[in-house]
Amino acid sequence: MLESCECGSSQSNPSRHLTPFSLSRAPLLPNSTLLPYHTSLRRDITTRRAVASTELLRRAYKYLARNTTLPAKTRHQAQLGLNALPPNTRPTRVVERCIATGRGRGVITEFGLCRYAFRKKALANELQGVQKGSW
């Protein structure tokens, strides 16, 4: 029932379906390159993969649950299906983390680095297009 559902919103706004979870940088990191103390990064990668795997199903359930033209029973069943999905598949569970240190706060999203790792790499000229400010 849900696989054949087409909401038609991709025709009006194709970038709506390109989310940070489906185009995430985290799955590019293989688990073998992570050190044993990077538990938070491993958890982040697992959560991002779970969110990406259920993203289409979650969108279909949401569309059905919020479509006011459908009968109330169908909408209620869609809401129950949405609530039945595991908690780690919710997009709000994904936390931006530094890919160098695993820190969860002070992360510069454009580079995926925390402020300290960003500063170290910027001063070492390891970030393309970044230079120390002078005015």
Per residue of the chain (135 residues), give pLDDT as tens.
Answer: 444 444 444 444 444 444 545 445 544 455 556 666 678 888 888 899 999 999 999 999 999 999 999 999 999 999 999 999 999 899 988 888 888 888 889 999 899 899 999 999 999 988 888 888 888
Q: Are 37 and 53 in a shared domain?
A: yes
Q: Are 25 and 75 in a shared domain?
A: yes
SS3 114: strand
Q: Are 27 and 45 in contact (CB under 8 A)?
A: yes
Within a domain: 82: yes
Q: Are 81 and 26 in a shared domain?
A: yes
Cα separation, 109 vs 123, in Å, equals: 18
Cα separation, 114 vs 130, in Å, equals: 15
- Please state the domain count of the chain: 2
Range of the domain at 87: 1-7+17-95
SS3 20: coil
Model pTM above 0.75: no
